Structure 1
Amino acid sequence: MEREHEEAMRADYSTYAELGRQMFRPSTSEAEIQLIDMQQQVLADRWESGPHAQHWQYLDDAHEDWKRSPKVMVRMLADIDHNGGAGVSGVQRRSLEQARQLTGNDRPRPQVERGR
C-alpha cells in the first residue's frame, strides 16, 4: 500500500469512526442517523470495493476488537512488540495503533488506590 493511500484510508476511517460516535448520541434524530449511515456507507464502499479492502477490513476489525476487548488487545500488541513485529505488516501495526487511539485506549488509566 502506497503511503498516500494509507494516509487517505486512515483519514477516511477516522471520519467513519467519528460518524459512528455521532450516530449513537442521545440527541441524534432518526433523520440524522439515516444521513450518518449513508455517509458511513459511502466511505466504507470506497475502501471495501477497492484494491485496499483487506487493509480497511483489518482496521475495522482492530477498531471493534479495541472496543470490545481492550485488555486482550494490549496483550496482543505487547506480544507483537516483544516479537519484533513478527506476524504483522507495518500497515497492520499502524492500524492497531490507530484503532487504539480511536477507542481512547491509548490514554493512561487512573490508578485506583486500594484499602489497606
Structure 2
Amino acid sequence: MEREHEEAMRIEFVRYTQLGEDRYRPDATANDRDRITAQLRETDQQWADGPHAEHWSYLSDAYEDWRQAPDTMFRFLDNIDHNGGFGVTDIQHRSLRQAGQLAGRDSEKVRDAARRYIDRTTGQSTPRPGRGQIERGR
C-alpha cells in the first residue's frame, strides 16, 4: 500500500468512526440515523471492494477488538513490542495503534508501545517497562 493511500484510509477511518458515534447522539433523529447508516455502509463498501480491502478490514477489526477487549489488545501490543514487531507488518502495527486511539484507549500504555515501536524501527533503544509497571497502569 502506498503511503498516500494509507493516509487516505486512516483519514477516512477517523471520519467513519466519528459518524458511527454521531449515529447514537441523543439529539440524532431517526432521519439522521438513517442518513448516517447509509454513509457508513457506503464508506465501508467502497473500501471493502477496493484494492486495499485487506488493510481496511484489519483496521476495522482492530477497532472492534479495542472496543470489546482492551486488556487483550494492550497485551497484544506489548507482545508485538517484546518480539520486535514479529508477526505484524508496519501498516498493521500503525492500524493497531490508530484503532486503540479511536476506541478511546489512548492510554500511557498505547503511547509507550508506539514509542518503543518507533525506537525499534529507528534503531534506538527504549527500556521495556517491568511487569509491575504494566500491572499498575491498568
Percent of aligned pairs sharing the same letter: 49
Deviation readout 1:7-35 (Å, 9 max, x if unpaired): 00000000000000001112211100011
AA in 1 matched with 2:106: D
Q: TM-score, normalised by structure 1?
A: 0.90
Question: Partner residue of 1:24?
Answer: 24
Deviation readout 1:61-115 (Å, 9 max, x if unpaired): 0000000000000000000010000000000000000000101101349xxxxxx
Q: Where do 1:53-68 residues align within 5 Å?
A: 53-68=53-68
Question: Partner residue of 1:10?
Answer: 10
Question: Partner residue of 2:35?
Answer: 35
SS of the residue corresponding to residue 65 of structure 1 reads helix
The separation in 1 between residues aligned to 2:91 and 2:46, in whole angstroms, is: 18
The separation in 2 between residues aligned to 1:86 and 1:27, in whole angstroms, is: 45
Give the 4+ runs in structure 1 shifted more than 3 A.
none
Structure with the bigger RCO (C-alpha within 8 Å, sep 6+) is 1
RMSD between superposed Cα atoms in Å: 1.2
Are residue 80 (structure 1) and residue 80 (structure 2) matched?
Answer: yes
Structure 1 stretches lacking a partner, 5+ long: 110-116
Question: Partner residue of 2:107?
Answer: 107
AA in 1 matched with 2:47: W
Q: TM-score, normalised by structure 2?
A: 0.76
SS of the residue corresponding to residue 17 of structure 1 reads helix
Q: Which moved more, 1:21-30 or 1:1-10?
A: 21-30
